[in-house]
Amino acid sequence: MTRVLKVGAAQLGPIQRENNRKEVVGRLIALLNKGALESCDLVVFPELALTTFFPRWWSENIAEFDHFFETEMPNQEVQPLFDEAKKLGVGFHLGYAEMTPDGHRFNTSILVSKNGDMLGKYRKVHLPGHEENEPWRTFQHLERYYFEPGNELKVFGAFNGVLGMAICNDRRWSETYRVLGLKGCELALIGYNTPVHYPPDPSQDALAGFHNHLVMQSGAYQNGMWVVGVAKAGNEEGCDLLGESSIIAPSGEIVAQCSTVEDELVSAVVDLDMCANYKETLFDFDRYRRPEVYKSITSQVGVEIPEGIEVEKQDNESLEG
């Protein structure tokens, strides 16, 4: 059985507030067709791929933004994408804002088969930003206001392999990849909307691209899995979003990367059997992991410096002198 598939990273340029679902789905269908022309089995779209990144705005009345959420999937406006997938025989991954029938809001992604059937759903676990209006910021990052966190990192048997999903900020946490890795994940699909400017610490702005690749490349290598990281990029409502969508091999090497901040598809041949090179050697979990030494990872949230360790604060004045 062949364990080789062609994967497309379908980066999106900005989606402005006035862009409606029909326009956006049209762009997704165009990218899906590009993927089909490149013989892709699977095309990966980013986080919140149907709307602008609305958590950048505060609204006193949370329901005012309900029109950014999908109450069912597929729905009438997104159905043409599912139909096109079936027609072309190309699967896809899509991020969107989900509203459940009982009124819960999640930042969600789905995996859809080559027949247009739903294979799996994931709800973002690590919600970054803040929950209250912080008017001092150039723009807000209110994911913790608009969404509830998901509670599970899952894998799915699909495309002849073990596939996992994570969403944007999840990719900065090594726990994400390790939990997926412990479930045998061979290909992690990750969409992101990453503002280049980080208001709490602008010294990180120049490193946004470096950090993006750093976390995904190390996650891939340390767990012997492929990682596909896909951006919504460009200037969206005055906010610059990082591009640099990429396909990363289990070696940690980038094998394909977008070069624009617009709608762009890059693809690569993904050999799932390459994962074994790492999973069965350096990162042979069965043989080398020491879970009894890692207990604090699941029992503790914040930093707890062990008793008896005293850190002397440096006197700033003497430094300046």
Binding mask 175-194 for ligand CDT (x = CB under 6 A): -----------------xxx
Question: How far apart are CB 169 and ligand CDT at their closest, in Å?
Answer: 3
Six-digit token string for 191 = 């969409």
Helix (H, G, I), strand (E, B) or coil at 194: coil
Six-digit token string for 75 = 């729905």
CB nearer ligand CDT, residue 129 or residue 243: 129
CB nearer ligand CDT, residue 35 or residue 95: 95
Question: How far apart are CB 196 and ligand CDT at their closest, in Å?
Answer: 10
CB nearer ligand CDT, residue 47 or residue 244: 47
CB nearer ligand CDT, residue 124 or residue 178: 124
Taking every pair of Cα atoms in the chain, the longest distance, rounded to a whole number of angstroms, is: 71
- DSSP per-residue codes, 134-192: -TTSSS---HHHH-PPP----EEEETTEEEEEEEGGGGG-HHHHHHHHHTT-SEEEEEE
47 is catalytic: yes
Among 168, 189, 190, 272, binds ligand CDT (CB under 6 A): 168
Distance between CA 170 and CA 198 in Å, rounded? 17
Question: How far apart are CB 178 and ligand CDT at their closest, in Å?
Answer: 18
Distance between CA 245 and CA 229 in Å, rounded? 5
The site for ligand CDT (CB under 6 A) is made up of 47, 128-129, 141, 168-169, 172, 192-194, 198
Residues acting as catalytic residues = 47, 124, 168
